[in-house]
């Protein structure tokens, strides 16, 4: 029987199914063991911290900060607002870009005309930092109270009015607080105004103590002027003396008149503002005597000339006295309700003449003549508003009715030009002298 050989014949293997199963597992294992790329390092956002505030009254306020970032800090800004009615502003810190740095920004306190910060100014602020990647960070909003650190002040508060004093008796300061509260109540009722913000009164003991807290002036002015009281901000009054009751009444009334009559579209004429402030005093004092003398002599001022303080030092007391008398006339003759309406009309943006006409049916000329008649003075022809001259009814003529000679009639003679120049120089001197005298009076 022949032998059958099996050499070279294919053999059936039992490993194939097992291999098919192991290959996916092996691939998964290789993927698991393969090295993975390292994750990118996370960028740390910038941080900025408030480093505190240094009070260098009356010269400056120094705001400090520190900042950090993985990339360079390129810009640090102080964003601040002077309360209660200041606009927002930005202070740029002077820095060299770096990942970690500290610095400051100095806000000058008395550098007119750029800025003037009276004692009691409250500043709302925060820091903002920006790095090279454009990422920003900021601090929480804080407030800083800029007080006169030269003295140890004692505050007394009542109904939103705070009196600060460092000298004199507490009894006198308490009396000032009482007078101030009464002034706010009476004048707010008269003008229909509401003082819905805190008001501060700083009482200084001497001229030397008070002068650095006032707006900086020229050396001549500083040596020549004594200021008894002044409203330096919408919420701040400075007063000289711990028992200056009428000065306090006068200056606090300016807070009320501003709230009642000043606005984005309207402003009060000086006679209405100052006249109301004198009206609030217990006694007009020398101002009343000045206007009485002028009435007796028949040389009172026109109302239109009282829209701003006079340039003639000799007319200052009469200015305040006549302004007071005009306000007294309006209140006594027409009543308190109409007087409050007058302020409201001005605040809404009406002109003084328009507001007077709306409320009383007369303009400033009509008011002047009504007031003159009440004092037994003859009426006066209306005067043109400042800067407006009446048109001539005929061309000017020389002696004998002849036209002036020289030129073509359309130019000015040398004598006229010299006269104008001399008049301008005289006016400048008078205005300068008036400025010195006026500051001695209430503002």
Beta bridge mates, 168:
none
Classify burial at 231, counting beta carbons within 10 Å of its beta carbon; exposed 0-12, middle 13-18, buried 19 or more.
Answer: buried
Query: Could you tell me if 367 and 356 are in contact, meaning their C-beta atoms sit under 8 angstroms apart?
Result: yes
Domain boundaries, the chain: 47-146, 150-261, 267-383+422-443
Q: Would residue 408 be called left, alpha or beta, if left means φ above 0 and alpha means ψ between -120 and 50 degrees?
A: alpha
d(CA 373, CA 365): 12
d(CA 245, CA 281): 8
State the burial class of residue 443 (Cβ atoms within 10 Å of its Cβ: 0-12, 13-18, 19+).
middle
CA neighbor of 364 nearest in space, from 384, 389, 335? 384
The pLDDT tens digits of the residues spanning 327-382 come to 999 999 999 999 999 999 999 998 999 999 999 999 999 999 999 999 999 998 87
Kind and range of the H or E run holding 23: helix 16-33
CATH class of the region 47-146: mainly beta
Neighbours of 61 (CB within 10 A): 21
Burial label for 283, CB within 10 Å (0-12, 13-18, 19+), is exposed
- Give, for all 443 residues of the chain, the pLDDT tens digit: 444 444 444 444 454 554 555 555 445 544 555 555 555 555 678 999 999 999 999 999 999 999 999 999 999 999 999 998 888 999 999 999 999 999 999 999 998 888 999 999 999 999 999 999 999 999 999 999 999 999 999 999 999 999 999 999 999 999 999 999 999 999 999 999 999 999 999 999 999 999 999 998 877 777 667 889 999 999 999 999 999 999 999 999 999 999 999 988 889 999 999 999 999 999 999 999 999 999 999 999 999 999 998 878 889 999 999 999 999 999 999 999 999 999 999 999 989 999 999 999 999 999 999 999 999 999 988 766 555 543 333 333 333 333 333 333 333 333 322 233 333 334 344 434 434 333 434 45
Phi, psi dihedrals of residue 123, rounded to the nearest 5°: -115, 125
- pTM exceeding 0.85: no
Q: Which residues on neighbouring strands pair with residue 78, listed in sequence order?
A: 91, 127
d(CA 234, CA 427) in angstroms, rounded, equals 32
Which two tokens mark 200?
């501060």
Q: What is the CATH number of domain 150-261?
A: 3.40.30.160
Joined together, the tokens standing for residue 135 give: 């990422």
Q: pLDDT tens across 174-214, in order?
A: 999 999 999 999 999 999 999 999 999 999 999 999 999 99
Pure H helices in 302-393:
316-334, 336-347, 352-360, 364-374
Contact 158, 227 (CB under 8 A): no
Q: What is the pLDDT of residue 21?
A: 56
């Amino acid at each position: 029987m022949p032998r059958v050989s099996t050499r070279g014949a294919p053999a059936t293997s039992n490993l194939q199914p097992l291999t098919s199963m192991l290959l996916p597992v092996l691939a998964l294992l290789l993927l698991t063991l393969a090295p993975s790329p390292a994750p990118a390092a996370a960028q740390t956002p910038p941080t900025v911290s408030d480093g505190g505030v240094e009070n260098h009254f009356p010269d400056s306020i120094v705001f400090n900060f520190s900042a950090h970032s993985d990339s360079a800090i390129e810009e640090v800004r102080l964003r601040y607002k002077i309360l209660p009615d200041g606009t927002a502003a930005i202070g740029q810190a002077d820095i060299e870009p770096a990942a970690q740095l500290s610095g400051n920004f100095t806000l000058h306190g008395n550098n007119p005309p750029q800025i003037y910060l009276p004692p009691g100014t409250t500043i709302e602020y925060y820091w903002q930092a920006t790095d090279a990647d454009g990422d920003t960070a900021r601090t929480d909003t804080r407030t800083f109270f800029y007080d006169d650190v030269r003295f140890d002040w004692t505050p007394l508060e009542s109904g939103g009015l705070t009196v600060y004093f460092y000298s004199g008796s507490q009894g006198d300061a308490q009396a000032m607080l009482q007078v101030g509260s009464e002034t706010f109540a009476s004048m707010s009722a008269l003008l229909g105004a509401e003082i819905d913000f805190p008001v501060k009164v700083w009482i200084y003991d001497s001229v030397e103590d008070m002068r650095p807290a006032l707006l900086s002036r020229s050396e001549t002015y500083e040596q020549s002027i004594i200021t008894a009281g002044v409203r330096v901000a919408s919420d701040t009054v400075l007063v000289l003396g711990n028992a200056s009751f009428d000065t306090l009444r006068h200056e606090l009334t300016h807070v009320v008149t501003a709230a009642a009559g000043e606005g984005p579209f309207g402003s009060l004429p000086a006679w209405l503002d100052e006249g109301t402030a004198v009206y609030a005093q217990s006694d007009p004092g020398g101002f009343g005597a000045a206007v009485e003398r002028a009435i007796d002599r028949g040389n009172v001022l026109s109302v239109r000339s009282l829209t701003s303080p006079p340039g003639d030092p000799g007319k200052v007391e009469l200015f305040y006295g006549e302004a007071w008398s005009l306000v007294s006339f309006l209140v006594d003759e027409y009543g308190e309700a109409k007087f409050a309406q007058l302020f409201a009309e001005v605040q809404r943006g009406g002109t003084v003449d328009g507001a007077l006409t709306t409320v009383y049916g007369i303009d400033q000329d009509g008011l002047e003549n009504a007031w003159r008649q009440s004092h037994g003075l003859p009426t006066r022809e209306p005067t043109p508003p400042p800067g407006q001259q009446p048109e001539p009814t005929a061309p000017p003529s020389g002696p004998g009715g002849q036209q002036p000679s020289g030129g073509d009639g359309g130019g000015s003679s040398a004598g006229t030009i010299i006269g104008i120049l001399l008049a301008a120089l005289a006016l400048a001197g008078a205005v300068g002298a008036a400025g010195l005298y006026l500051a001695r009076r209430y503002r």
